[in-house]
Amino acid sequence: MKMIDDYKNKKILVLGAGKSGTHAAELLQELGATVVLNDSKPASELPEVKELTDHGIKTITGNQTPDILNEHFDLMIKNPGIPYDNQVVAAAVQQGMPIITEVELASQITDAEIIGVTGSNGKTTTVTMITKILNQERPKGRAYAAGNIGISATHTALKTTADDTMVMELSSFMLLGIKTLHPHVAVLTNIFSNHLDYHKTRKNYVNAKMRITMNQTADDYFVVNFDSDEWRQLSKRSRAKVVPFARKTEISHGAYEKNGKLYYNDEFIMNADDIKVPGKQNVENALAAIAVAKILGKSNLAITNVLETFSGVRHRVQYVLESEGRRFYNDSKATDIEATEMALDGFDRPVVLLAGGLDRGYTFEKLIPQFKKHVKAAVLFGQTADLLADALKDAGVQKITKVDNLDQAVPTAYQYSDTGDIVLLSPANASWDQFKTFEQRGDEFIKDVEKLTHKQEERQ
């Protein structure tokens, strides 16, 4: 860790608690700042606040109003999920107050090399694959996964040395709050139309994602999915060396699939079917990881040791268990149409689909081809149940049932299934109509499956 003086004697507002906020507040105090943490939730819902108070950090909880800015702060560190039209944030912007996110602070204090990964889908799986590969055959130091993966970047940065690597999952929300963060290798897995309730327009969302490469130079690398012309064109914005990867498009260099085999610059790496996690989307994630690994000098053995054994990330097409010939998968992280589209495309057996969630104002016609090809029955819940039912009917799916909640959905789905089928939770929607997080939704699904089958989740 670098003991920088940038924040010494500065007064800093940390907006939003949680892991990122509390760890940022503690670090800033260590760096000599006067810190105030503000969260709209009451202290009774924020157990971490007491520890901050015990360390002499001022906390204001239970409300979040612009008058807090009357304390005249030099800087705001904002929880990434708090939008810029939040009244406190908007007032700070109007005052010209600098606003950063926790990942920016982490990047300033770490001595480790940074690998950054962004995209609409596949970020967490790609980050995990890269981290595991970089920890193979490593003579000194280690690779750490951090950021949007659910691990505080500042907390991780405190542990790192110059021998280490930080593999940072960077959401669009996080990237809006960076100034100097500089990944040596940046990865763009894909871009679809996500989080438009936050970003307002797709252009804003794309521009937020592209901030991952804004501080890169010709000495750095930008690994980009070349299976879309839009993404190929976006790569031209970067000053870094562009390294493409592609599953469907023929490319002359980089990482690619050809006739069921994975290559890097014409060097055979492994068979696509030998990747343990199912689905074409995970071939793409693996290709991105291969590109990063080869850029950083890892051997083919290090790559295959991981990709042939890694069985997936929790809540992301996660294999749960098998019972009576049915295989249950938890893809609660599928909070958008594209993620469910890719999940369905990864199975060659009939799927009983559990889906539904928060209504964000879109319909599901785009899923009709996948519904036709893969779905034998569907059990729907949440605000979008009727909209999903319309698309499933148009796809010719005969067995469609709407239920009140996930607890009811699991046994109903089992009744629709037969030996050899896949029972898949892949909601295609955010969880916030019935759950606090997609993780809570996925955990609930696993509990329901365990209760139904009288079996325990098979931990990988």
| Beta strands at 261-264 and 267-271: parallel, antiparallel or unpaired | antiparallel
**Known binder of ligand: residue 154?**
no
Q: Would you say 119 is a known binding-site residue?
A: yes
Distances (CA, A) of 129 to 66, 304, 313, 399: 42, 11, 10, 37
Residue appearing with tokens 């989307």: 281
Closest of 418, 350, 426 to residue 388, by C-alpha:
426
Rounded Cα–Cα distance for residues 423 and 421 (Å): 7
The answer to the question of whether 297 is labelled as a binding residue is no
Identify the CA nearest to 287 among candidates 388, 159, 190: 190
Kind and range of the H or E run holding 327: strand 326-330
Q: Is 121 annotated as a binding residue?
A: yes
Provide CB contacts within 8 A for 451, sequence distance 6+.
none
Annotated binding residue 122:
yes
How far apart (Å, rounded) are the C-alpha atoms in residues 289 and 456? Answer: 31
Instruction: Count the alpha carbons within 13 Å of 109 in the hemisphere toward its beta carbon.
Output: 23
Q: How far apart are CA 375 and CA 248, in angstroms?
A: 24
Known binding positions for ATP: 119-125
Known binding positions: 119-125
